[in-house]
Structure 1
Amino acid sequence: MKRISEVPALDRPREKIAVRGPEALTDRELIAAIIGSGGPGHDVFEVARAIERTLPAEGIPAYADLLAIPGVGAAKASQIAAAFELARRRFVPADVRITTPEDVIPLVRHIAERKQEYFVCLSLNGAGEVVGNRVVTKGLLNYSPVHPREVFADVITDRAASVVFVHNHPSGSPEPSREDIAITRQLLDAAGILGIRVLDHIILTRKNHLSMRERGLL
């Protein structure tokens, strides 16, 4: 097992970034630069290789999947998850305008493969451009409890004119449950008081999606 200090200085990921820029590093080296060190019995490059193999083709790696990797503890799992989430937020194309449910899907595709329900809220300005994209809650296998105050706290800060709600169904069926409809109506009532339009509530699965507005439920 080789420690990072035993690697020649010019081959160490962080030193390579300083000299040649991050674009010169492989994915594994970038991961090694993020985590900085290995764990008991595992050097940094061994851990980075295991993390690289765990990364999904698209989206953000699940914290629990990272935590299951030998040599990865809570700190390293959090570092990787945070790095991916920050990149996702910063590199969403500017001035993304929502006009159809299909415009929303690329912005939330990362939750489609999750084994738990994630509830996401997109904030839009008066021109229909996305100004906020946040996971509000993460819940049980088939239910994510949502409260209006949690949903609209950041929406108000964004000075949003409208919102789009999205949540995933790990079961694979996009059909809205009674709880989905009840939560949506509760959020509609709260949005009406705040003067914020609810454009849609989209249910997302691995293979397809359903618009509650198109279904006539909004």
Structure 2
Amino acid sequence: MTADLPLPGLAEAPEKPDHKGHRERLRNRFIEAPEALPDYELLELLLGAAIPQKDTKPLAKALIKRFGSFADVITADVEDLKTVDGIKDVAAATLKVVREAAIRLARAPVINASVISSWEVLLDYCRTAMNTLPTEQFRLLFLDRKNTLIADEVQQTGTVDHTPLYPREVVKRALALHASAIIMVHNHPSGDPKPSRADIDMTRAVKDALNAVGIQLHDHVVVGRKGHASFKAMGLL
């Protein structure tokens, strides 16, 4: 008896790669309970959209090993991300889109609202935007007479423990925006938000420069992984 032969013109369906079945199951688990996925599996899903042709679990685990957590991965610099074998421009851009989306979601409630009466919302936004950054960053929040946010700008980016901020440039930008008040925010990559002596001296210099043109410095907030510090609450303003 001869073995059955496939009918002419009828090809066997190609087998689905193992990683595609795994990705589909992972996607279903995410839809059912997104909070239940560990960091590396969340990264798997993101990387799967950027690199659909390969199994992204090893790459996700490599990123967690290199940077520490999901938050640390998406806040890492693009060039640092690309030092991990397998991460190229498309994957790096996909990860950075997530960070920008998180920042915009956190900022939305602050726009067109009095930041003084929405202080905790403002702090949440600042922590989302800055507390896992690998280097120091200075952000200036410009307010109108009603303490409504009119501009949110990164003024300077520095090193792991220092960011230069020039009082004259702060005043110049505040005047250009017709701001009545400013809130200064910067991060400490070390995690400890306690202001340094340099932070205190620089803040006083900025406050004096702003006072000279009739603009108020409402607060200077330092954010870090261990919390935040308010110059106003600490009696430093």
User: What's the TM-score once normalised by structure 2's chain length?
Assistant: 0.61
1:56 aligns with 2:73: no
Residue by residue, what CA displacement relative to the aligned partner does 1:9-47 show, whole Å, maximum 9, x if unpaired?
xxxxxxxxxxxxxxxxxx8787777x6x78xxxx58849
Going from structure 1 to structure 2, the CA distance change for 1:79 and 1:216 (only over 3 Å counts) comes to same
Residue aligned with 1:203, SS? strand
**Equivalents in 2 of 1:83, 1:103: separation in Å?**
20
8 Å Cα contact 1:60/1:85 also seen in 2 = no
- 1:120 corresponds in structure 2 to 139
Q: 2:116 aligns with which of 99, 116, 124?
A: 99
Q: Superposed, which structure 2 residues align to 1:1-218 within 5 Å?
A: 43=53, 46=56, 50=60, 56-57=70-71, 61-63=75-77, 64-73=79-88, 77=92, 80-81=95-96, 84-85=99-100, 88-89=103-104, 92-93=108-109, 94-99=111-116, 102-110=120-128, 111-218=130-237
8 Å Cα contact 1:59/1:109 also seen in 2 = no
Amino acid in structure 1 at the alignment position of 2:114: R
**Equivalents in 1 of 2:219, 2:191: separation in Å?**
20
Amino acid in structure 1 at the alignment position of 2:87: V
**Equivalents in 2 of 1:75, 1:149: separation in Å?**
39
The alignment-based identity, stated in percent, is: 30
8 Å Cα contact 1:122/1:163 also seen in 2 = yes
Deviation (angstroms), 1:116: 1.9
**Equivalents in 1 of 2:54, 2:171: separation in Å?**
41
Task: Please report the RMSD computed on the Cα atoms of aligned residues, expressed in angstroms.
Answer: 3.8
Residue by residue, what CA displacement relative to the aligned partner does 1:159-201 show, whole Å, maximum 9, x if unpaired?
2211101111223332221100111012112212332211000
Amino acid in structure 2 at the alignment position of 1:92: A
8 Å Cα contact 2:131/2:187 also seen in 1 = yes
Q: How many residues align?
A: 190
